[in-house]
Amino acid sequence: MKVLKKYTFREKISWALYDWANSAFATTVLAGFFPLFFKSYWGGNLDDATSTAYLGTASSIAGLVIVMIAPFLGALADLTNKKKYFLIFFALLGILSTGTLFFISYGFWQWSLIIFGLSIIGFSGANIFYDSLLIDVSPEKERNYVSSLGFALGYLGGGILFVINVLMYLYPNYFYLENEVQGILYSFISVALWWFIFSIPMILYVRQKDIVKKSKKSFPIMESLLRILITFKEIKKYKPVLIFLIAYWFYIDAIDTIVRMAVAYGTDLGFDSSQLIIALIFTQFIGFPSTFLYGYLADRYGLFFMLFLGILIYISICIYSLFITNTLDFFILAGLVGLVQGGVQSVSRTIFSNLIPEEKATEFFGFYNLIGKSAVVVGPALVGWTSYLFGNPKAGIISLLLLFIPGIIILSFVPRDNLTFK
């Protein structure tokens, strides 16, 4: 049965603030300090090529775990009408794992990768339910704006804390810390606290509106397994959804891989770590206004048009990476990523939310995240091992064209004649 839907501004902003909260992990830990610190501290006794390969493999394994559980979790959450409770559980897993990184000593690279993998599982698992709640806080006509608001606040919030964390790293004495190592270790603690504190509005004010009638004839776990099969069959009936998900598998893999491996790539090219960190900050603060602008342009010129444009820019970024020779080139690359990254992710989420049946949002978003995370099983490992085999980090980045080009080709086959949006 359906309940009367009333969408409030408080719900929308509370939902969007969760992106502000968890983007601190995506920026400081996932893209920023963990790759650098892993190479110089936990994996300091490993050579660059090996540490990059291990880092990519760890990210891929964590993605594989999410692939295995995402559809089941989506179906179970819909059947039990507890999207938000599942979100809280995985968010806490990510928060506690991130805080635990503080306690791992020099040289314990195996433990650092295990805890890092758990933090990724928490971060990605929570996003399954966060994405699906977009339908519960916004009507279709406002969904692109609300989705863009989330990503934009994510860039701003993640960027603000990242600046503070960078200052802790560069000027530890100002924060009553002994050295740069303590600056980074305490940054992990700050991310965990930031993530927790700014998740509170979502916990208090966001309510699930698309309620699924519970079955009295079976156990939720067994029924959720059955619904995975049913949902998979239903997705095949929705031709636009199916083709879009196949395209999404290719291009989102490459995008997420760029986020996770950019710093490792710059390090392998011999660039100074402080310059790489500043480039990440540059990306964040370009991403904040750019995501809003991208959403506006998508409303004006069409969601699909702007998605095609964003993927083409990413293809250009891969080609441009072949010609990087100095930090200025890396800053240009970072700026280009900031222009399109949030916009492409936001528009993709909006398109998908408009294609699927609302009453099965979490199930379908479970498959949406399955597609995204299964792609990440391939991407980081592809870059890491291609770089290792060819002995050249640029070979790893250009290998992403094997994902972007099929993605944009398949996207062009999504039927759009009968859709209510462009």
What are the pLDDT digits (tens) for 326-362? Answer: 888 888 988 999 899 889 988 998 898 888 877 666 6
Report pLDDT for 326: 83
Residue 183 tokens, joined:
């600056």
Residue 161 tokens, joined:
């804390």
Residue 375: is its pLDDT beyond 70? no
Contact 42, 104 (CB under 8 A): yes
- Give the 3-state secondary structure of residue 262: helix
Residue 256: is its pLDDT beyond 70? yes
Report pLDDT for 1: 42
Residue 218's CB: how many other CB atoms inside 10 A? 12
Q: Which residue has the higher pLDDT, 65 or 265?
A: 65
Report pLDDT for 3: 46
What single-letter DSSP state applies at residue 18?
A: H
Place of tokens 């398109």: 351
Give, in order, the Cα–Cα distances in Å from 359 to each of 3, 172, 335, 412: 11, 51, 39, 28
- What average pLDDT does this structure show over 280-289? 85
Report pLDDT for 187: 96
Contact 56, 261 (CB under 8 A): yes
Report pLDDT for 370: 66
Report pLDDT for 2: 46
Residue 64 exposure: Cα atoms within 13 Å on the Cβ side: 11
Q: How far is residue 38's CA from residue 55's CA, in Å, rounded to a whole number?
A: 8
Residue 224: is its pLDDT beyond 50? yes
Place of tokens 């805890």: 115
Highest mean pLDDT among 92-96, 122-126, 175-179, 367-371: 92-96
Q: Which residues lie below 8 Å from residue 193, measured CB to CB, with a gap of 6+?
A: none
- What average pLDDT does this structure show over 149-171? 91
- With CA atoms as reference, report the closest residue to 297 among 342, 335, 331, 254: 342
Q: How far is residue 71's CA from residue 93's CA, in Å, rounded to a whole number?
A: 19
Output the DSSP codes for 98-140. Answer: HHHGGGPPTT-HHHHHHHHHHHHHHHHHHHHHHHHTHHHH--G
Q: Which residue has the higher pLDDT, 373 or 300?
A: 300
Q: Which residue has the higher pLDDT, 343 or 269?
A: 343
Residue 377: is its pLDDT beyond 90? no
208: left (phi over 0), alpha (psi -120 to 50) or beta: beta
Element (H, E) at 75: helix 48-80
Residue type at 195 in one-letter notation: W
Residue 173 exposure: Cα atoms within 13 Å on the Cβ side: 0
Q: pTM for the complete prediction?
A: 0.76
Q: How far is residue 156's CA from residue 159's CA, in Å, rounded to a whole number?
A: 5
The percent of residues above 70 in pLDDT, for the chain, comes to 85
Residue type at 347 in one-letter notation: V
Determine the longest span between alpha carbons in the chain, in angstroms.
65
Report pLDDT for 313: 95
Q: How far is residue 336's CA from residue 255's CA, in Å, rounded to a whole number?
A: 12
- Cα dihedral across residues 135, 136, 142, 148: positive or negative: negative
Burial class (CB in 10 A: 0-12, 13-18, 19+), 266: buried
Lowest mean pLDDT across 129-143, 184-198, 312-326: 129-143
Q: Which residue has the higher pLDDT, 82 or 11?
A: 11
Give, in order, the Cα–Cα distances in Å from 333 to each of 51, 156, 293, 297, 327: 23, 19, 19, 22, 10
- CA terminus-to-terminus distance, the chain: 30
- What average pLDDT does this structure show over 162-189? 93
Residue 36: is its pLDDT beyond 60? yes
Residue 385: is its pLDDT beyond 90? no
C-alpha angle 85-89-95 in degrees, rounded to nearest 5: 135
Q: How far is residue 32's CA from residue 273's CA, in Å, rounded to a whole number?
A: 10
What's the mean pLDDT when you consider all of the chain? 83
Report pLDDT for 143: 84
Which band of pLDDT confidence, cut at 50, 70 and 90, is reported for residue 418? low
Q: How far is residue 394's CA from residue 319's CA, in Å, rounded to a whole number?
A: 10
- What average pLDDT does this structure show over 216-238? 64
Q: Which domains can be identified in the chain, with CATH numbers?
A: 9-206+218-411 (1.20.1250.20)
